[in-house]
Amino acid sequence: MTYTLTSHQYGKAENHIVRIYRDSPRHEIRDLTVTTAMRGAFEDAYLTGDQSKVLPTDTQKNTAFVYAKQHGGGTVEDYGVALAKHFVDDVEPIHGARVDVVVDDWERVVVDGEEHDHTWVRRGPENRTVTVTVDGKGEEQTVHVGGGIRNLVILKSTGSEFHDFLTDGFTTLEETKDRILATAIDATWGFAATPPDWDVAYAAVRAAVVGTFATLHSLALQQTLWHIGGAVLDAVPEIESISLVAPNKHHFLYDFSRYDTDQENAGEVFHADDRPYGLIEATVTR
């Protein structure tokens, strides 16, 4: 064949690593789902099946687990950078590595009014995410760290309008001055510089997202996303850009006028529909 392998990468997806910190009786837990992806001089593996330059995904898995001990003492971002740099720095054919981490949150339980030393319950559905990309060797190496939040399901029961939109022959939607606005925010952001504290930066982003969604009187989910993006850039000066993907999770007011009832439905009872849903996307850059 005379075709071209125009892009390629390979790695190990969804290593589910639970790290317990037990240096004191009060344990800590970190629950990471880690995906590694390698780019480099692997053309022969594709073209001829020659594996001599391929670090098996099984080895990547082993490394991800060992590094959870060896480089697990700092932040998740530190761990991701150490792991990605290892692949690029220590394995000759690897020219670039990407490490994606999804963090599952555990909440320490309270028993008889006191936080328990070594028991937690899972708290979701939202996840924090971290992405590290290392490209190149030696002096030319670049390291990029990105953050994210996934599936932040949020709803406001008022303070949302939608009207004066464009109409055509297929329009049936009625205008509204008061509706439920609900979404499940997926956001990712990139840093132009390292913030003083990764966890503080994450908390500031989340607070900006939630606070803006709550307090902005919304004329459309588009407008809400734009203001969320701006608030995040305001809150964390090291972030250079944020991308937002947000379904409009429709809550339809249930029409009581069709029934033999004296009940009125003044913005009180809604059918939360599954599909289809609006899908709004925006990237806001400093």
> CA-CA distance, 209 to 74, in Å (whole number)?
26
Minimum distance between the CB of residue 211 and its own copies, rounded to whole angstroms? 5
Q: Is 243 left (phi over 0), alpha (psi -120 to 50) or beta?
A: beta
Cβ partners under 8 Å of residue 189, min gap 6? 146, 147, 148, 205, 232, 239, 241, 242, 243
> CA-CA distance, 262 to 267, in Å (whole number)?
15
Using the minimum distance from each CB to its own copies, give the nearer residue, 158 or 194: 158
Using the minimum distance from each CB to its own copies, give the nearer residue, 66 or 141: 66
Out of 57, 75, 85, 144, the active site residue is 57
Minimum distance between the CB of residue 99 and its own copies, rounded to whole angstroms? 13
Residue 58 counted as an annotated binding residue: yes
Out of 12, 61, 86, 249, the active site residue is 12
Strand partners, 33: 16, 102
Using the minimum distance from each CB to its own copies, give the nearer residue, 2 or 139: 2
Minimum distance between the CB of residue 77 and its own copies, rounded to whole angstroms? 18
Indicate if 217 belongs to the active site.
Answer: no
Which residue, 183, 272, 191, is CA-closest to 225? 183
Tokens 């329009």 — which residue? 171
The type of residue at 75 is T
Using the minimum distance from each CB to its own copies, give the nearer residue, 201 or 233: 233
Instruction: Encode burial over 60-75: b for 16+ CB neighbours within 10 A, e otherwise.
Output: bbebbeebbeebbeeb
Residue 122 counted as an annotated binding residue: no
Minimum distance between the CB of residue 136 and its own copies, rounded to whole angstroms? 19
Indicate if 137 belongs to the active site.
Answer: no
Residue 9 counted as an annotated binding residue: no
- Dihedral sign (CA 137, 67, 35, 284): negative
The type of residue at 247 is P
Q: For residues 205 and 148, is the Cβ–Cβ distance under 8 A? A: no
Using the minimum distance from each CB to its own copies, give the nearer residue, 163 or 199: 163
Using the minimum distance from each CB to its own copies, give the nearer residue, 58 or 139: 58
Residue 248 counted as an annotated binding residue: yes
Minimum distance between the CB of residue 143 and its own copies, rounded to whole angstroms? 21
Q: For residues 255 and 213, is the Cβ–Cβ distance under 8 A? A: no
Minimum distance between the CB of residue 196 and its own copies, rounded to whole angstroms? 22
Q: For residues 220 and 197, is the Cβ–Cβ distance under 8 A? A: no
Residue 22 counted as an annotated binding residue: no
> CA-CA distance, 39 to 144, in Å (whole number)?
15
Output Rg (C-alpha) for the chain, integer angstroms: 24
Residue 65 counted as an annotated binding residue: no
Indicate if 12 belongs to the active site.
Answer: yes
Out of 71, 95, 144, 250, the active site residue is 250
List the catalytic residues: 12, 57, 250
> Which residues define the annotated binding site for 5-hydroxyisourate?
57, 162, 179, 222, 248
> Which residues define the annotated binding site for O2?
57, 248
> Which residues define the annotated binding site?
57-58, 162, 179, 222, 248
> Which residues define the annotated binding site for urate?
57-58, 162, 179, 222, 248
